Structure 1
Amino acid sequence: MDEILNCMQCGFCLPACPTYRQTGKESASPRGRIALMKGAATERLQIDEEFEHNMYLCLGCRACETACPAGVPYGSLVETARDVVETRKKQKGDTSLLRDLIFHEVFPHPERLELMGSLLWMAQAAGLQALAQKTGLIKIMPRQAAEMATAVQTIASPWQRMKREPVMEPEREAAGLKIGLFTGCVMDMMFYETNQATARALTKAGCQVVFAKEQACCGALHAHAGEQSGAVELAKRNIEAFERAGVDFVVNNAGGCGAALKEYHHWFHDDPVWKERAMRFVGRVRDANELLAELPPLSFSKELNVRVTYQDSCHLAHGQGVRNQPRQLLKSIPGVEFVEMRGADTCCGSAGIYNITNFDMSMQILDDKMVDVENTKATLIVTSNPGCLLQMKKGIQRAGMTGQMEAVHIMDLIERAL
């Protein structure tokens, strides 16, 4: 309630909010949602379907936090509101089998995610994905999933994954740092090579990189979906895994994961022992852009000669305050002509699984974003988050720019120049 009352209802958040800009509705703004939370907390409003709809219409991009003069922690407020919604539904026995499967049987189990990745690779290798798109069979899938499936890139094979070394040694004079690479769940399943490219960049910067055993999903998807207890259990597993690894820094390359990792200490309000361990863990967490910008400059061997623009990951820019470092790295690559995009830090509409759960709103936000992307006349749009990368690939398709523009993760672009 103290955090809710910190909101002065000034309205600075309104122009920063993507859903308010799309709808013009007060209930679709951060200020409006906080007013609804206050009503529910004081029992003047029911926690009903309308309340649930307004909480889940939010992308969780946290642009409102950047705009807020009072420093209201909106991200944690909306996560708490969703947790209350889901707790009430469980008490009523109103749970979804698919939701339970995703959050309890899939994401907490890295081996099951790896199996899913292998199955997806098999489908791609057998040509089933291309065949489904060509024949129209893909339309038997739910519309949202079918649309986003067209943006999925080639998955690494099980044999490529088996080649991963548990430790990668520095390739030049050692910086004296032992880095634990946080591989993530979706990131490692769908963007395995980007994780490897990140590790190679760090070794070229003089770091030893280790892949800590028993690390798990960061818990962000659980926290954003009102599954706070599941998020806390995943946080404990990751804290223990990297404590055992004895690393100097825990480095990740996904803005959404990084924001969650850096906020673990907020997840242990009533557990002082775990909160202290979480604070030590948080002190070691760095985004890959953040750490590489601090280390001696990389020695690039290739000139790329491309015009590049950058789409901020919301959770990297607004959640972690990491803005200049990715741009600094891009400008250091030989042959890169960097052009700043208007509204680069406005949400692309991906927001975790928002482009599945709120597809139409997501695509409206994406189409607006693509107008600014096209105006840059860039041939590459660079991102720092897997969800943003898939969304921008979809945006290129929707804008009819396939073959003219490519979406690429910043670590993959650095790999090309190295």
Structure 2
Amino acid sequence: METELNRCKRCGQCMSACPVYQTTFREVDVARGKLALLECVKEGTLRWSSRFEEILSRCLLCGACAQVCANRVQTTLMIQSGRQWFFAAGKKPKSRRTVLRNVRKGHLPAKVLLKGGALLQALVCKKIPETSGLHLRFPLSFFTERHTVPPIAWTPFLDDFRPRPDVSAEGPRIGFFVGCGANYLFPEMAWALVRILRQIGGTLFIPRDQVCCGLPAFVSGDTKTARKLARKNIEVFASLKLDAILTVCASCGSHLKALASLFADDPSSCDAAASMAQKHMDAMAFLVDHLGLEAYLKTLHSGEAPGSTGTLRVAYHDPCHLRIGQGITQAPRRLLTAVPGVQLVEAPHPGQCCGHGGDFNLFHFSLSMKILDRRMQDLEKVKPDRIVTGCTGCLLQFAEGIGRRGLAGRIKVCHPLVLVERAIAPCPIPAQSRKNLPVFQAEDTDPAQ
């Protein structure tokens, strides 16, 4: 930590990129201010306190500050270190510790809650009136301040998925890390990838005993739980001898990509984590760069003129965990541009954060909505029929934004692969054409090495 703190020159360049600071204009909400406070703690001139913990929690961990920093100071790592100390010392407010512990470790019967949530969806999908007796049982602002709540699937994807008995042994061995968002909230994005890969070819592996990627635990400071979950996933996927491991959620993917850093002080686990991280790719980038899906999409309905009747205006939002965390911006756009009947429209400020940030949205909801409002204003300017993005957190955030602005009847949100799958569903790729598609070959085909 000391080395990173010394590299910060307090120039203030981070002020131009931080979505939280651009909303509050408070010094403690920008990277420079947080690092200054951390340095005071290190020097002993400032004590740890609940107020300081609150300041550290007011960060989206989007990485925008590090991207514009001339010295590339890893502010998110510094903030993580502070959060880890608070968690280890049990300094978090009791209510927050209880919520996070149950979410991270699954102490509550998850399937029962999810089934109940699906049944109650019609009751809680709109803002609950102040006179409702539900406030006595659900006093959290999670319900009282929202216009929508997460769309809980009746059947999680991993419970519904069944491997096809006629799986081909040809092509790359592809693993799919589903993630909690795609499993419980947006199974349609997981099914979209499955159906696309079934048409393209290759052997698909989706282990049912995979668990949460561990990002929620990690960002809240619970490194122990994050490592426990990571070790389980490493064990599950390493046994399959995969060429690639795909994700459809940018947040999961960003965490898997940096998995080795979670075990920096544990060489025995670090190598296995690095092997899994090396095989990881975002599904959209994999389909474009290694399976040639973009070229195939362009051959569909090639006689249709651009902008013809029925064109869907689609605005793509760059998730921070995909744009900054994985350096991917063009693959989703290339896929969408190639989909017949889709007109890709670019909103102003394409790199602007939506303001979700995981538990940031849960514990700083009002601030999260102010950040979202700026992004929604940009998106509304291009009059889209769909807002598409590759992160489940962003999908939830935009669903809330659409509901708050009364646009639910005009604009919908979805993952880009949902539109891609709908385009190729009636046009399966012939077996002869599949042979001409490039086959992905990983440099390291043995996860155990």
Q: Structures share a fold, TM > 0.5?
A: yes
Q: Which residue of 2 aligns with 1:121?
A: 118
Q: Which residue of 2 aligns with 1:411?
A: 417
Q: Which residue of 2 aligns with 1:153?
A: 151
Runs of 5+ consecutive residues of structure 1 not aligned to the other structure: none
How far apart in 1 are the matches of 2:164 and 2:420? 21
How far apart in 2 are the matches of 1:402 and 1:155? 19
Query: Counterpart amino acid of 2:120?
Result: A
Query: Counterpart amino acid of 1:143?
Result: S
Q: Which residue of 1 aligns with 2:325?
A: 319
CA contact (8 A) 2:172 2:203 kept: yes
Flag the 1:327–1:168 CA change in 2: closer, same or farther, 3 A: farther
CA contact (8 A) 2:347 2:378 kept: yes
Residue 98 of structure 1 deviates from its aligned partner by 5.7
Residue 216 of structure 1 deviates from its aligned partner by 0.8
CA contact (8 A) 2:126 2:147 kept: no
Query: Counterpart amino acid of 2:395?
Result: L
Pick which of 406-415 and 310-319 moved more.
406-415
Flag the 1:169–1:351 CA change in 2: closer, same or farther, 3 A: farther
Pick which of 361-370 and 32-41 moved more.
32-41
* Structure 1 residue runs of 4 or more that deviate by more than 6 Å after TM superposition: 168-171
Flag the 1:169–1:231 CA change in 2: closer, same or farther, 3 A: farther
Residue 156 of structure 1 deviates from its aligned partner by 3.6
1:307 aligns with 2:308: no
Q: Deviations over 1:201-249 (max 9, x none)?
A: 2233323211124211111111111111111111111111100122111
Query: Counterparts of 1:244-283 in structure 2 under 5 Å?
Result: 244-283=239-278
Q: Which residue of 2 aligns with 1:72?
A: 73
Pick which of 320-329 and 186-195 moved more.
186-195
Flag the 1:86–1:111 CA change in 2: closer, same or farther, 3 A: closer
Query: Counterpart amino acid of 1:350?
Result: H
Residue 64 of structure 1 deviates from its aligned partner by 1.2
Q: Which residue of 2 aligns with 1:164?
A: 161
Structure having the higher Rg: 2
Query: Counterpart amino acid of 1:62?
Result: G
Q: Which residue of 1 aligns with 2:397?
A: 391
Q: Which residue of 2 aligns with 1:297?
A: 293
Q: Secondary structure at the match of 1:276?
A: helix
Runs of 5+ consecutive residues of structure 2 not aligned to the other structure: 305-309, 425-449
Flag the 1:157–1:268 CA change in 2: closer, same or farther, 3 A: closer
Q: Secondary structure at the match of 1:245?
A: coil
Residue 405 of structure 1 deviates from its aligned partner by 1.1
How far apart in 2 are the matches of 1:354 and 1:386? 14
CA contact (8 A) 1:221 1:352 kept: yes
How far apart in 2 are the matches of 1:320 and 1:138? 45
Q: Deviations over 1:149-204 (max 9, x none)?
A: 6243362437x764411468679x95x21111111123311112221112222233
How far apart in 2 are the matches of 1:78 and 1:350? 17
Q: Deviations over 1:84-136 (max 9, x none)?
A: 1222235xxx6626634543x44344994344322222334xx5446985897
Residue 413 of structure 1 deviates from its aligned partner by 1.8
Aligned mate of 2:215, from 212, 215, 220: 220
Query: Counterpart amino acid of 2:382?
Result: T
CA contact (8 A) 2:127 2:145 kept: no
CA contact (8 A) 1:28 1:57 kept: yes
The alignment-based identity, stated in percent, is: 31
Q: Secondary structure at the match of 2:207?
A: coil
CA contact (8 A) 2:152 2:184 kept: no
CA contact (8 A) 2:284 2:332 kept: yes
Q: Secondary structure at the match of 1:18?
A: coil
CA contact (8 A) 2:114 2:152 kept: no
Q: Deviations over 1:285-311 (max 9, x none)?
A: 111111111121254567862111111
Query: Counterpart amino acid of 1:256?
Result: S
1:209 aligns with 2:212: no
Q: Deviations over 1:329-350 (max 9, x none)?
A: 1111112111111122211111
How far apart in 1 are the matches of 2:194 and 2:391? 16
Residue 72 of structure 1 deviates from its aligned partner by 1.7
Q: Which residue of 2 aligns with 1:60?
A: 61
Q: Secondary structure at the match of 2:90?
A: helix
Q: Secondary structure at the match of 2:245?
A: strand
How far apart in 1 are the matches of 2:422 and 2:377? 27
Q: Secondary structure at the match of 2:373?
A: helix
Q: Secondary structure at the match of 1:407?
A: strand
How far apart in 2 are the matches of 1:333 and 1:345? 23
1:364 aligns with 2:360: no
Q: Which residue of 1 aligns with 2:228?
A: 233
Flag the 1:253–1:372 CA change in 2: closer, same or farther, 3 A: same
Q: Secondary structure at the match of 2:47?
A: coil
Pick which of 140-149 and 407-416 moved more.
140-149
Aligned mate of 1:177, from 160, 172, 178: 172
Pick which of 29-38 and 136-145 moved more.
136-145
